C-alpha cells in the first residue's frame, strides 16, 4: 500500500533536497527602491522643519499621483505620525487616531489606503467585503500537512501598534462592525 501526504513525509523522504547558492538577492522592486534612498542628516531635518510650508510639503508627498485631497492627505499624515498617550489627573487619553474616509465612488479612497499601507512600517490592508469581526481579530486554520488546528492572528492583531486599513467598511455586517468599535476605542 502506497502512503501519501503527511504519512509519507513522516515515514521518510525518498530523496534528499540540496541547494547550493553563491548569492541570494531580493527581487522585490520595493526593496531596491528603499536601498537606493539616502538618509537625511540631522542638520537637513532641522533645516526642513524650520521651513514655513513643511507640513504642506509632507502632506503633498503622500500619494503624489493623486491630485488634490490636501486635507485628507494631512489627516493621513497625522495618522502615520501618531499622537502621544497622556494621563492627566489619572485619566488615560490615547494618542491614536481613527479615520473614516467616506465619499463618492472613484475619488481615490482605496488608492490612498493602499499608499498608506505601502509606506507605514507596520500595517495591514483588508476589505470589509470578505472580512468578519471575528476574522479581523483571529482565525482558526487547519494545517494542511499535519491536520492540526492552529490559531492565526487577523488583520487587527497583525497591525497592532500600526495602521489597519479596512476598505469597503460598509459591506461588513452590522454585528461585525460593532465588534471593531471596541478595538478602535479601547485599543484592546
Whole-Å CA distances, 28 to 34, 50, 56: 11, 36, 31
Q: Would you say 47 and 61 are in contact if contact means Cβ atoms under 8 Å apart?
A: no
The helices-and-strands tally (H runs, E runs) of the chain is: 9, 4
3-state secondary structure of 125: strand
pTM above 0.85, yes or no: no
Best CA proximity match to 185, nearest among 153, 154, 156: 156
Interhelix angle 70-81/109-119, rounded to 10 degrees, is 30
Residues 113, 125: contact at Cβ < 8 Å?
yes
Task: Identify the DSSP state of 93.
Answer: B
pLDDT digits (tens, 9 = 90+) for 6-61: 565 556 555 666 778 887 776 655 555 555 557 878 898 888 888 888 888 888 88
pLDDT digits (tens, 9 = 90+) for 115-167: 888 888 888 888 877 677 667 777 788 878 888 888 877 777 777 778 888 88
Amino acid at each position: 500500500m502506497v502512503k501519501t501526504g503527511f504519512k509519507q513525509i513522516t515515514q521518510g523522504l525518498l530523496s534528499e533536497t540540496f541547494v547550493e547558492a553563491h548569492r541570494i538577492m531580493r527581487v522585490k522592486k520595493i526593496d531596491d527602491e528603499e536601498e537606493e534612498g539616502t538618509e537625511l542628516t540631522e542638520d537637513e531635518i532641522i533645516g526642513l522643519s524650520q521651513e514655513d510650508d513643511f507640513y504642506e510639503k509632507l502632506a503633498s508627498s503622500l500619494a503624489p499621483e493623486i491630485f488634490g485631497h490636501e486635507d485628507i492627505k494631512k489627516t493621513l499624515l497625522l495618522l502615520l505620525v501618531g499622537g502621544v498617550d497622556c494621563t492627566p489627573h489619572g485619566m488615560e487619553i490615547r494618542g491614536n487616531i481613527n479615520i473614516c474616509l467616506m465619499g463618492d465612488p472613484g475619488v481615490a479612497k482605496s488608492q490612498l489606503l493602499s499608499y498608506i499601507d505601502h509606506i507605514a512600517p507596520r500595517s495591514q490592508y483588508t476589505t470589509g467585503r470578505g472580512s468578519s469581526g471575528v476574522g479581523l481579530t483571529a482565525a482558526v486554520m487547519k494545517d494542511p500537512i499535519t491536520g492540526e488546528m492552529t490559531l492565526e492572528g487577523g488583520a487587527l492583531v497583525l497591525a497592532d501598534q500600526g495602521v489597519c486599513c479596512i476598505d469597503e467598511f460598509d459591506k461588513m455586517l452590522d454585528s461585525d462592525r460593532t465588534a471593531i468599535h471596541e478595538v478602535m476605542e479601547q485599543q484592546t
